[in-house]
Structure 1
């Protein structure tokens, strides 16, 4: 009898949590993370403050849930693009563009969610440890593209650091490479190439897409798509991706 009651209760709890998150996302879109307040959310939903705290213990707890969801959705968008690129038998350069385009499309469509996962959303906030793995899931599909590349000597310092990172493996980086680029995992050189490329593409995505999502391209004579395409081609050239 107890188990029968737990099912509907658990579903109601998840539905309420989802509604709270939806309300919070609307507030984020309207006013930014700094204006997010549990009391305001409770008022909009017709709940008391204490009732809301049964679902999220604090504003930071709610922010963490939203950040996890954002990373997961971004990772899903990139993963779908990777599957479609593989099915279409695209080459490494075309796959790079496909994955980055999917990431940019997600970020531009929901800039308030993208900005939530880039840096600290509010002063003093500390993201939970599990967001690292979620961020790695976004970048994972890029690893095999660069593992098969051939970076020039200008990237030797970065490749050396990635090689040292693999050797130390203090953060499970070898397992990360093995999950997304299993063919390269046993070859330290290729694994380091994959990591170097992933770090570089992350920096370029964050720079270009971050500026666009924040509205920094308004009034300028280029589109976000054109800028990102140019940067990706330069990166593909640097790794001799065809």
Structure 2
């Protein structure tokens, strides 16, 4: 006998039951009598036992199966850092992901500045360890041509853990196109500080470019690419053990 998915009516009852609501409250929520809900639950349980329908997963089961994405980037330094973090996490939820934002934790107010820094470092390290995927904002930060150093560290740490890493930039311009050369030598252009502007046709330093799957666009476009390749494609993360922890 082939199984079928629960009907819309059955799913509504099951989801309220999963939330731990009593029969009377389920009945009130659905505008039904308690007796009608009890009869429907009995039918659902019988059909599940008979293998005629597949019950919907519990909320905790759904959460465990959703890929967790660590949202790396210098956005945490913005004036609207908290609001932007909520926006990023909503983008994740819209695509079936769980977003892990560096500012999610509450730093204890009793800590001195350097102790607070160590607390944040340890908290972010644990978030990266718990993530299935890391997504990084590699746009320029505090200077032309260079992403945020903290984000670069997090990308490197994730690479060392063997986690899939995705990144995004608002422009696909190469370093040579973006960094103004103050001098030209036999090796190529040199910046105002006297350092060679690397020319590999890449938009960021080769260690970042070669360790990430880089998307030109914003976080929404990057998440769409992740969903397309990792979730809807041949790979799967979140409960599958693809990402090393």
Compute the TM-score of the two structures, normalised by the length of structure 2: 0.28
Q: Which has the higher strand share?
A: 2
Could you state the TM-score of these two structures normalised by the residue count of structure 1? 0.28
Rg larger for: 2
Would you tell me which structure has more helix in proportion to its own residues?
A: 1
- Relative contact order (C-alpha < 8 Å, sep 6+): which is higher? 1
